[in-house]
């Protein structure tokens, strides 16, 4: 099964740590990062898609992707 996540966060070190943690759990970058202004918060936001192949499991909408 191939899993997909889109990580988002503020433009600071916490976002880099979030992506780094995912990479160290076996997730791989998928495409380029995004960078956009969030008018509601008045701050820049980052985003990065990540994917992971997991053998021996079937997809279910109840699956907690962050725990994989």
What the block records as the tokens of 66 is 């962050």
Cα 50 from chain centroid (whole Å): 5
pLDDT at 63 over 90: no
Report the predicted TM-score, pTM, of the whole model to 2 decimal places: 0.86
pLDDT of residue 60: 86
Q: Which stretch of 9-13, 30-34, 60-64 has the lowest confidence by average pLDDT?
A: 60-64
- Give the angle subtended at the CA of 21 by the CAs of 59 and 25, to the nearest 5°: 45
Distance of alpha carbon 9 from alpha carbon 59, whole angstroms:
26
- Under the banding of pLDDT at 50, 70 and 90, the label for residue 51 is very high
Distance of alpha carbon 20 from alpha carbon 40, whole angstroms:
27
Greater confidence, 27 or 62?
27
pLDDT of residue 16: 96
Distance of alpha carbon 68 from alpha carbon 45, whole angstroms:
24
């Amino acid at each position: 099964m191939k899993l997909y996540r889109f990580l988002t966060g503020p433009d600071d070190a916490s976002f880099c740590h979030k992506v780094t943690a995912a990479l160290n759990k076996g997730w791989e970058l998928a495409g380029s990062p995004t960078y956009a202004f969030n008018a509601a918060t008045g701050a820049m936001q980052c985003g990065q898609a990540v994917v992971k192949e997991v053998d021996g499991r079937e997809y279910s909408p109840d699956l907690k992707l962050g725990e994989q």
